[in-house]
Structure 1
Amino acid sequence: MSFSPTGQAQVLVWAPEAEQVELILNEGNTSVPLKKEEFGYWSVTTDLVSPGDAYKFRLNDDQEFPDPVSLFQPNGVHGASQAYDETSFNWEDDNWQCPLLEDFVLYELHTGTFTPEGTFAGIEQKLDHLLELGVTAIEIMPVAQFPGDRNWGYDGVFPFAVQDSYGGPEGLQRMVSACHQKGMAVVLDIVYNHLGPEGNYLGAYGPYFTNKYNTPWGPAINFDDAWCDGVRRYFSENLLMWFRDFHVDAVRLDAVHAIKDFSPVHILREMKQQVNQLMETTGRTHYMIVELDLNDTCFINPLEEQGYGMDAQWVDEFHHALRVTMTGDQTGYYSDFTGISDLGKAYKDAYVYDGQFSPHRQKSFGVKAEGNPGKQFIVFTQNHDQVGNRMLGERLTELVSYEMQKLAAGAVILSPFLPMLWMGEEYAEPNRFQYFVSHTDPELAEAVRQGRKAEFGMFHAQGEAPDPMAEETFLQSKLQWDLLPLEPHQTLFRYYQTLLKLRKELPALKHLDRQNLEVVENDAHKTLQLRRWHDEEQVLCLMNFSNAPQTVALPLNAKTWNLVLDSAAPEWKGPQPSAPTANAGTEVLMQPESLLVFRGQS
């Protein structure tokens, strides 16, 4: 539903198999019939509905359902839709220019647990903290309407509606405008591979789903079966809405490997083409980022190279190699990774598996990413999946030492890729981030409880999986902002600031040139040398992942190496300084679990 400049409501519904469609107003006392159009659409223009009015649709003179394109569900997933004019918001970001992708420093957060308020307004109150840290883009977990008021967001069932408990559509628009006024980009996590189970009424309107394929969450969305044109338009229009009407700068598309589409033009490629057209019209820049578990550069290659044109992707393999290097844990999918040699490969090649045999998958996996620039790969030590999908939701704070946390931060931030931080890691938030939902269907709620227990059945020696339905599970996942000024939290925050400042100010770190890079790993001593350069400047990052002191000879590529950061220094609450400025060839001592950063002088 949209509103014309004259105030009339223009109503359009896709219901290709319906015999009759009516707009229901005034709690069922007013009915407005829709006219059948081509290709399964029904429409009407009326002055009987205004912004703020509640409404539903009645199909075949039978059941009534909320609008599948509802922008606001103030009474939850089962309640009536509320008309909202998304074009009426008074934007204050006319001069906003989205940063270049290579300048993105991402910060992933969950709206409900990021602040005590758990709202978009709460996020606005913390923007100065993120700016002070050095973040240039916040990445918000999905906000499409879900059941209840507690959910990670991946159970959304109204792709166009903004979660009411977060502040609804106007709250999101206000927050995006506030971010832009402070010079910060906004990335929105969206889900086009499945919908949640409760309140999912799309199937009542038409063949939004297909039995041709299955996903881990049920039937796949119908992108290539009978009547798929209407489905493809639905999700393409949804993407364009976030960019056009909510001024979102980028989207992160969840698990695109679970999008099943054998059409001649893949839905992602079609979406990218439409986004390019939008950018030509508006003059604004928008990016499409994907979560991808295929190591297939087809997704991120340009349209002119017959790729899908996605601008960047998450790289879980960098995380896995780093995690195994830090902890030695090789359970589950970590069994594919041996540690520091794989971390070195991730620095050099982005993908660890680029064609070789994967024991975990029991097949050859991946392709080489030789022509893809560093800005196309997003790396991290933690994210919502890698924390929240652990049985107990432990953060890295709980799994490794304070010294190793500092080393891990440097390993990510000084990489030739885009760094992403997980909310709270910059000050070592101790609260776990756990899996939580608030389904109102008792049978579904119990099924989720039992499913979570079964998933971690072999881990019961470590305790019981928290009850995802319990409000306490949600509340215990909130950040504790009162810890920030205390130690060692404040020192770690300043350390993150320093790393991000180095990344911004040193040309060898700022320019994400994967060719100007050299990596030397020592498996026996668990050390790694990462050397990057740009023009005449060089930066050398020495990493000691072992629990013992190690000596490393400085390379001969520079006459003098000036120390610019030592994670073991007292100013970072480290045990002691490791090495002063030294000449090439000099052996320097590295403290256990430490990072040294040198700037090279010819």
Structure 2
Amino acid sequence: MKPGAFLTRDGCHFCVWAPNPSRCELSLVEPVQRLHPMEKESAGYWTVTLPEAGPGWLYRYRLEGEREFPDPASRCQPQGVHGPSEVVDEAFPWNDSSWRGLELPDYVLYELHVGTFTPEGSFAAILPRLPELRELGIRAIELMPLAQFPGRRNWGYDGVYPFAVQASYGGIRGLKTLVNGCHEAGLAVVLDVVYNHLGPEGNYLAQFGPYFTDSYRTPWGAAINFDGAGSDEVRSYFLENARRWFAEFHIDALRLDAVHAIHDESAFPFLEELALRTREWERELGRPLVLFAETDRNDPRLVRPRPAGLGLPAQWCDDFHHALHSLLTGEKHAYYVDFQGVSDLAQSLSQGYVLDGRFSAYRQRRHGAPPEGIERHQLVVFAQNHDQVGNRAHGDRLSNLVDFPSQKIAAAALLLSGFLPLLFMGEEYGERRPFPYFVDHEDPELREAVRSGRRREFAAFHDVTGVEIPDPAAETTFSSAILEWERRHAESHGVLWELHRELLALRGRFPILQPRESVEVTAEADEATGLLRFRRRSSAARADLFFNFSPAAQPVGIEDEFLPAEKRFDSEEARWLGTATIAPSHLEPGSRLILAPRSVVLYATE
């Protein structure tokens, strides 16, 4: 059974999974108002087909002859999360038939929030910016969640209609137009989906069936029922959701939010089934489809092939961010307490995980496992993302916390790491505006609960005594996050933009810097001097990345076996607003290399 309202040759077919009620009726709202009894099918589904119904018709489901609710599989909520659902036409004039998708190692991700990426806050307003993102070297845009949420302002993780596209952004047609435009521009599209919980306002799924379970809890509310009674159809609901993004919307990849909060103790976990089904859909659709698992558990089993693992293609690697951020800012509170210096960044550059089974002071236990069998193209790394910026008390970005040389180091460490890099919107030019948490709930009690909850969360993270935290429900908090994109080519912002483009061009030019290449990777660090050397070797090429995190110049010894290599990047060049204390253009045995304070140099062979 396929839940939702679908246009067929016989009219509009309505289908809802509702095993809880003994009676279910279709309640039409517009253009006519009347009730239609529905027929109960197997497994708790109810169906009815109306020959006269068409696009634009509004409807609800009446349960037990009393209360009415929107469709759990609604495609559109034009009047918000509490209003009726709308019948929509899936047809769209696609012209992306030449798009062949993007292989996993080629992903360079750019995360954006539709509501704050442009002043208009719409899918349509993103389209004019695609050519410049492609020029920068981006290969895929990652959209924060789009499932219909309360109001107009939200990060998207409070979505309550997984099949509906946020109406204020442009709805279904707007999203399809954006995906079509991305593919024409040579960009893949990644969609952030939330399969671990639903938001609190407008969440009526429990009225229909056992979508949730009391066996587990998430930090955000009731857990989805993936392994209890009735879970077969719950799993089908979310599998169908994933399939539609791939098949109907031509989405290339899904970012699975917080998979560590997807609780499933069954012998065939939902995530494993989703990975298997995605491979089937990939063959059917004839293009690569990717699943990125966001997780903080450092668990290599997620991406190991079956049967040793769940077989997901790739996962997030928070440790890279934590090691780099702690090193550049000196912050040691909360989870940063586990990251102590240059050596931890070297370990992350070497293998991704820093906490690979060692003791975590933050958690007061051992954390993670050795990343054995994980390929570099299976780890997504970042210097910033929506979580790491937005979950700070004021949503301040790295550009507000460190100086310009440190921003250049962060860019080089990220983009030349040999993992899959992710940039957060505005990072490429040092955006200064914050990205705080914001909501637009209608319920005043819920708004107050969010305010107090955020304060408690920040108090647990670090001392906020006397600190005024932006009101998540205030429109000014939302508007403060809208990018000042017009500054991207001005002054030092323009220099940083060009630097990111240069680094991405180097990554594309030299296979030794890409995750495709079979390379030997080593990273060496010296805590006393602040030096870090990151080496990549293959049978055909080599690359050496030298970092100096110290505020003083540092000499670097060049061993006798060092092959002649040409300098490809130097953060101290005048065009990068450096001191012009430039490293030599070539290195060979006996060369003298002195790194300027807080600088980075790349040497590589063709």
Report TM bin, short chain.
over 0.9
- Which 5+ residue runs of structure 1 have no aligned equivalent? none
Pick from 377, 381, 384: which aligns with 1:382?
A: 384
CA distance in structure 1 between the aligned counterparts of 2:203 and 2:166, rounded to whole angstroms? 15
Counterpart in the other structure of 1:546 = 550
CA distance in structure 1 between the aligned counterparts of 2:324 and 2:596, rounded to whole angstroms? 19
Counterpart in the other structure of 2:293 = 290
CA distance in structure 1 between the aligned counterparts of 2:194 and 2:469, rounded to whole angstroms? 26
* AA matched with 2:415: I
SS at match of 1:530: strand
1:148 aligns with 2:145: no
CA distance in structure 2 between the aligned counterparts of 1:81 and 1:548, rounded to whole angstroms? 63
Counterpart in the other structure of 1:350 = 352
Pick from 81, 97, 100: which aligns with 1:94?
A: 97
1:127 aligns with 2:130: yes
SS at match of 2:593: strand
Shift of 1:513: 4.7
Instruction: Give the direction of change, closer, same or farther, for the CA distance of 1:369–1:454 in structure 2 (3 Å limit).
Output: closer
Shift of 1:353: 1.5
Shift of 1:2: 4.3
Counterpart in the other structure of 1:13 = 16
SS at match of 1:273: helix
Judge which range, 309-318 or 365-374, deviates more.
365-374
Can you list the C-alpha shifts for 1:88-116, whole angstroms capped at 9, x where unaligned? 11111111111211011000110000011
CA distance in structure 2 between the aligned counterparts of 1:585 and 1:352, rounded to whole angstroms? 34
CA distance in structure 2 between the aligned counterparts of 1:3 and 1:491, rounded to whole angstroms? 51
Instruction: Give the direction of change, closer, same or farther, for the CA distance of 1:262–1:406 in structure 2 (3 Å limit).
Output: same
* AA matched with 1:12: C
Shift of 1:357: 1.9
Shift of 1:492: 0.8
CA distance in structure 2 between the aligned counterparts of 1:114 and 1:462, rounded to whole angstroms? 31
Can you list the C-alpha shifts for 1:531-570, whole angstroms capped at 9, x where unaligned? 1123321111101111111111234443323211110111
CA distance in structure 2 between the aligned counterparts of 1:200 and 1:63, rounded to whole angstroms? 14
Count matched residues.
599
Counterpart in the other structure of 1:137 = 140
Instruction: Give the direction of change, closer, same or farther, for the CA distance of 1:77–1:2 in structure 2 (3 Å limit).
Output: closer
* AA matched with 1:590: L
Counterpart in the other structure of 1:592 = 597
Q: Does the 8 A contact of 2:60 with 2:68 survive in 1?
A: yes
Pick from 55, 60, 64: which aligns with 1:56?
A: 60
1:469 aligns with 2:473: yes
Instruction: Give the direction of change, closer, same or farther, for the CA distance of 1:514–1:527 in structure 2 (3 Å limit).
Output: farther
Q: Does the 8 A contact of 2:518 with 2:538 survive in 1?
A: no
1:229 aligns with 2:237: no
- Which 5+ residue runs of structure 2 have no aligned equivalent? none
CA distance in structure 1 between the aligned counterparts of 2:581 and 2:78, rounded to whole angstroms? 57
Shift of 1:451: 1.7
SS at match of 2:300: coil
Shift of 1:5: 4.5
Shift of 1:146: 0.4
CA distance in structure 2 between the aligned counterparts of 1:342 and 1:281, rounded to whole angstroms? 43
CA distance in structure 1 between the aligned counterparts of 2:277 and 2:560, rounded to whole angstroms? 50
SS at match of 2:46: strand
Q: Does the 8 A contact of 1:207 with 1:227 survive in 2?
A: yes
Pick from 289, 310, 313: which aligns with 1:311?
A: 313
Q: Does the 8 A contact of 2:519 with 2:537 survive in 1?
A: no
Q: TM-score, normalised by structure 1?
A: 0.97
CA distance in structure 2 between the aligned counterparts of 1:162 and 1:200, rounded to whole angstroms? 15
CA distance in structure 1 between the aligned counterparts of 2:189 and 2:508, rounded to whole angstroms? 19
CA distance in structure 2 between the aligned counterparts of 1:241 and 1:596, rounded to whole angstroms? 45
Counterpart in the other structure of 2:337 = 335
Counterpart in the other structure of 1:498 = 502
Q: Does the 8 A contact of 1:507 with 1:534 survive in 2?
A: no
Q: CA RMSD in A?
A: 1.4
Q: Does the 8 A contact of 2:419 with 2:515 survive in 1?
A: no
Counterpart in the other structure of 1:74 = 78
Alignment of 1:251-330 (within 5 A): 251-303=254-306, 305-330=307-332
CA distance in structure 2 between the aligned counterparts of 1:555 and 1:89, rounded to whole angstroms? 61
Shift of 1:577: 3.1
1:241 aligns with 2:244: yes
Pick from 412, 435, 438: which aligns with 1:436?
A: 438
Judge which range, 56-65 or 576-585, deviates more.
576-585
Shift of 1:455: 2.6
SS at match of 2:431: coil
CA distance in structure 1 between the aligned counterparts of 2:173 and 2:5, rounded to whole angstroms? 15
SS at match of 2:384: coil
Counterpart in the other structure of 2:524 = 520
* AA matched with 2:506: L
Structure 1 vs Structure 2: percent identity of aligned residues?
47
Counterpart in the other structure of 2:408 = 406
Counterpart in the other structure of 2:44 = 40
1:65 aligns with 2:61: no
Q: TM-score, normalised by structure 2?
A: 0.97
Instruction: Give the direction of change, closer, same or farther, for the CA distance of 1:462–1:328 in structure 2 (3 Å limit).
Output: farther
CA distance in structure 2 between the aligned counterparts of 1:230 and 1:557, rounded to whole angstroms? 62
CA distance in structure 2 between the aligned counterparts of 1:413 and 1:399, rounded to whole angstroms? 20
1:568 aligns with 2:572: yes
1:363 aligns with 2:368: no
Shift of 1:511: 4.1
Q: Does the 8 A contact of 1:114 with 1:478 survive in 2?
A: yes
Q: Does the 8 A contact of 2:489 with 2:497 survive in 1?
A: no
Judge which range, 582-591 or 40-49, deviates more.
582-591
CA distance in structure 2 between the aligned counterparts of 1:428 and 1:348, rounded to whole angstroms? 27
Judge which range, 381-390 or 511-520, deviates more.
511-520
Counterpart in the other structure of 1:373 = 375
Shift of 1:4: 4.7
